[in-house]
Amino acid sequence: MKRSLLAIAIATLASSSFAYNVQLDGGFSYFDHDNDFIDTDNQFDIKGTYYFNPVQSKTGPLNEAAFLGHNSNVYAKYTYNYMESKDYIDDFGNSYALAKDEREIHHVVGGLEYFYEQFYANAEVGFGRLKDESEYRFANAKTTVKDDYDVTTYRALVGFTPISNLLLAAGVDGYYGENDGDDDAAFAVTAKYVAPVGPSGQYVNLEANGTFGDTDHYEIGADYYLNKAFSIGTVYERQDEKDTDAVDYFTLRTKYFINDVAAVGAAIGFGDDVQAYNINATFRF
């Protein structure tokens, strides 16, 4: 009898799906610039998401469970970037100085993502601070220039899901700084589609995002899920600003769920003048 009860309990656990209300994501990125003077450029990212209703992971990729389940949520993100340069020559008119820079960026964002039947809305607001310090050394003198800059960012999208696994939305993505005329409100669009391919549990994720204002930025991405746990993907980004050359960026990424609770991921990116390397992890409960 005890063995029968144990077998029933094991079978019940094996057939049940994991549900979670909280997801934590964290990552570290290292940027390698092609120029000769940037010595260090690192970035840390962390994000916490709380889902109002438990997210079920019975079907589809584990990484897409909340999207496929239309789970409304609130979230918070924090980004820290630190860049430091080696000594380099700076041109001050007819004189030359040996210069060195340090820069820190802090950015905190809070947001809401809401699904109701076929209606979708996303709103977020963020606060950023840039701290920059430059040291200039002349033959007989040295001077230090410090600068702090604050910026507020915001984003609001509304859209709909014509079918359960397709999202289309549009809105505004902007910022305003502490200086006069330092602002932009760009038109923003986003689309996401997750669908099965083949009879063996493979899926594909297709997504696109764009903002069009003083600076145009858009990206298209695709992920192929070999099974519920493992994916490989790619992203292409392009940024086009008036009176400057366009910047192209290409990323390869992968993610693997060790179990229903934890995942690890990695990415490598290639730009016109920079390469980036990222490792990340996800934890759910």
With beta carbons less than 8 A apart as the criterion, state whether 169 and 197 touch: no
With beta carbons less than 8 A apart as the criterion, state whether 206 and 222 touch: yes
Look at the chain and report how many structural domains it folds into. Answer: 1
With beta carbons less than 8 A apart as the criterion, state whether 103 and 43 touch: no
Query: Per the domain annotation, does 175 fall within a domain?
Result: yes
With beta carbons less than 8 A apart as the criterion, state whether 123 and 112 touch: yes
Query: Per the domain annotation, does 2 fall within a domain?
Result: no
Query: Per the domain annotation, does 122 fall within a domain?
Result: yes
Residue 181: predicted pLDDT: 75
With beta carbons less than 8 A apart as the criterion, state whether 82 and 103 touch: yes
Give per-residue pLDDT as tens, 151-180.
999 999 999 999 999 999 999 999 998 887
| Percent of the residues in the chain that have a pLDDT greater than 90, as a whole number | 71
Query: Per the domain annotation, does 269 fall within a domain?
Result: yes
Residue 100: predicted pLDDT: 85
Of the two residues 100 and 285, the one the predictor is more confident about is 285
Q: Residue 203's domain is classified under what CATH number? A: 2.40.160.60
Give per-residue pLDDT as tens, 191-244.
999 999 978 889 999 999 999 988 899 999 999 999 999 999 999 999 988 778
Query: Per the domain annotation, does 1 fall within a domain?
Result: no
Q: Is the pLDDT of residue 9 over 70?
A: no
Burial annotation 90-117 (CB, 10 A radius, 16+ → b, else e): beeeeeebebbbebebebebebebebee
Q: What residues contact 235, with CB distance under 8 A and at least 6 apart?
A: 219, 220, 221, 250, 251, 253
With beta carbons less than 8 A apart as the criterion, state whether 176 and 152 touch: yes
Distance CA 174, CA 157 (A): 12
Q: In terms of residue numbers, what domain contains 197?
A: 20-284
